[in-house]
Amino acid sequence: VTPKLVNVGIVGATGAVGQELLGLLAERRFPVNELRLFASPTSEGRKLSALGAEHTVRAAGPEGFEGLELVFFSAGSGTSLRLAPHAIEAGARVVDNSSAFRMNEGVPLVIPEINGDALGPETTIAAVPNCSAIMLLMGIAPLRRLGRIRRVIVSTYQAASGAGARAMQELLDQTAAALEGRELKPSALPHPIAFNLFCHDSPIGEDGRNDEERKMEEESRKILGDPELSVTATCIRVPVLRAHSESACVEFDRAVSEQDARQALSSAAGVVVVDDRKANRFPMPIDAAGKDEVLVGRIRGDMYNDKALNLLISGDQLRKGAALNSIQIAEALLRFPRAGGGQ
Ligand SMILES: NC(=O)c1ccc[n+]([C@@H]2O[C@H](COP(=O)([O-])OP(=O)(O)OC[C@H]3O[C@@H](n4cnc5c(N)ncnc54)[C@H](OP(=O)(O)O)[C@@H]3O)[C@@H](O)[C@H]2O)c1
């Protein structure tokens, strides 16, 4: 059966996630009819090649969505809040990469391998979870068959690309400058990123958590459908170009075994176990970069608690943490005609 072709828009097409989305549309043969690319007014008129053709970037505005059936938003939460309602009004479904609607009741927050059933014909807007939350949950959700997860303590090692295309370039430029003995002042990131690491560059609330840590905690509860789950996260930016890593201690409501965990992870969709103790080969961002799968390893019991397991996770947050997860959601939505007419 030839799939129905869809008119697709991307808001934020010039960004790190937008570029990845364009590549994935081609790679996954997404059934695109018209492709309309949007960014900020600074990029208006810029040419981008995608799906074998050259496209002119438009400045995103409320009037640009007429005739579109699906719009990916990847331009920050301010832009999503301002423009997503116009896209929906124009008859499109929205897949949003920002945090604008994630915690709204009635907005599915979806990792298709875990809670794809939250999508349905009535879905007009679906939210892509925070990239660090996606990596964590890809690594721990398959373990729910061992027992109920009660508590997670997680530390992240987050790539510069998580802060966008400019931060990625800043890591490259600063590293070159440092090697030549020059100093380069940070601009996209708050502190020097070359040969350094620092607490995640999101605002810190009164309770001491930064926004990234809060998102990992709240979104994990929503996605796993468990308001009792406690998650303590410490989010750190490291001088890695691409792919986030996370070290997690996961506590269950009963004793669990390393063998059962390895088995559950080995058969989980979207996960590859990398756990070679002899060769000291475990998940590394350099192996995860550019891959669809999330790597999980260093699976080990906890010497002091037989209900806990420890893990190391690495995954490309531009792909599974953003663009790939968005496209998987869009592919799932294509299976449901939009309720109440429209597409
Ligand atoms: N990077 C990641 O790993 C990651 C992971 C998950 C989710 N996200 C989310 O995805 C979104 C994009 O992130 P990114 O890393 O791709 O950022 P980025 O590389 O900085 O790109 C930002 C994009 O948004 C566009 N934009 C900025 N202001 C705009 C406006 N007022 N109207 C329309 N477009 C505007 C930019 O256009 P110009 O080029 O014209 O400035 C650019 O296309 C953010 O919401 C981010 O939180 C990112």
Instruction: Tell me the DSSP string of 234-303.
Output: E-EE-S-SS-EEEEEEEEESS---HHHHHHHHHTSTTEEE--BTTTTB---HHHHTT-SSEEEEEEEEET
CA-closest residue to ligand 1 atom 2:
162
Say if ligand 1 is within 6 A of residue 332 CB. Answer: no
21 neighbors 83 (Cβ within 8 angstroms): no
113 neighbors 264 (Cβ within 8 angstroms): no
The whole-number pLDDT of residue 91 equals: 97
How far are the Cα atoms of 15, 128, 219, 299 from residue 211, in angstroms, in the given order? 21, 16, 12, 28
Q: How many Å apart are CA 118 and CA 224, to the nearest integer?
A: 11
The whole-number pLDDT of residue 328 equals: 98
Closest to 316 in 3D by CA, of 297, 293, 282: 293
Residue 172 C-alpha to ligand 1 middle, in angstroms? 19
Type of residue at 44: E
- Closest atom of ligand 1 to CA, residue 17: 16
Question: Which three-class secondary structure state does DSSP give residue 139?
Answer: helix
The whole-number pLDDT of residue 174 equals: 98
The whole-number pLDDT of residue 340 equals: 59
The residues annotated with a catalytic role in the active site are 131, 244
Q: How many Å apart are CA 191 and CA 237, to the nearest integer?
A: 10
Q: How many Å apart are CA 198 and CA 176, to the nearest integer?
A: 20
Say if ligand 1 is within 6 A of residue 81 CB. Answer: no
Say if ligand 1 is within 6 A of residue 265 CB. Answer: no
pTM: 0.97
Distance of CA 311 to the CA centre of its chain: 19
- CA atoms within 13 Å, Cβ hemisphere of 10: 27
Residue 241 C-alpha to ligand 1 middle, in angstroms? 17
Residue 159 C-alpha to ligand 1 middle, in angstroms? 16
Say if ligand 1 is within 6 A of residue 318 CB. Answer: yes
List the chain pLDDT tens, one digit each, 343 residues: 667 899 999 999 999 999 999 999 999 999 999 999 999 999 999 999 999 999 999 999 999 999 999 999 999 999 999 999 999 999 999 999 999 999 999 999 999 999 999 999 999 999 999 999 999 999 999 999 999 999 999 999 999 999 999 999 999 999 999 999 999 999 999 999 999 999 998 999 999 999 999 999 999 999 999 999 999 999 999 999 999 999 999 999 999 999 999 999 999 999 999 999 999 999 999 999 999 999 999 999 999 999 999 999 999 999 999 999 999 999 999 998 876 554 4
Q: What is the DSSP letter of 8?
A: E
Burial 256-280 (b: 16+ CB within 10 A, else e): beeeebbebbeebebbbbbbeeeee
Say if ligand 1 is within 6 A of residue 9 CB. Answer: no
Ligand 1 pocket, mutate which of 14, 17, 235 (most atoms under 8 A from CB): 17
The whole-number pLDDT of residue 338 equals: 77
Type of residue at 330: A
Say if ligand 1 is within 6 A of residue 315 CB. Answer: no
